[in-house]
Amino acid sequence: MGHDGAVPFQVIRGRGDLLPVFEGYSVPEGVVGGRPVERIYYHLKNERLAINAGYWEAEPGVIRFEGFPWNEFCTILEGELQVAEDGKPPLTLRAGDAFFITKDFRGTWTLPVPVRKYFVEALAEGDSP
């Protein structure tokens, strides 16, 4: 174990037998189209390092964010995600594309097809996924 209680090196291979720890809408007031039911699978949750990592999946729909819940780095594994930050043209992200989104993001995510991404959440004090 590392000095902060974390394992210094950890290998994560595939989704394995993980079960979703969350299924529903993480921002229910933000659902503005379709039924983008989300499923979250965690590989890592470390409060001392303030980092979580895992898979996120969602069905087609549109989600509006008035501030993202935390800072997050993501890689799209399957599907397509159209991100439209307020005041900017939308960007289309597909499998293999990676992005970083901050807590102050305001805009919409449009999921024309089911999406699966790998994420690393960098939590700040007061954030709770």
Q: Which domains does the chain have, with CATH numbers?
A: 22-122 (2.60.120.10)
- The overall pTM is greater than 0.85: no
The residues near 109 (Cβ < 8 Å, ≥ 6 apart) are: 62, 63, 65, 81, 82, 83
Dist. CA 39–CA 21, nearest whole Å: 7
pLDDT tens over the chain, length 129 residues: 444 556 677 776 666 556 678 889 988 999 999 999 999 988 888 888 888 889 999 999 999 999 988 899 999 999 999 999 999 999 999 999 999 999 999 999 999 999 999 999 998 766 665
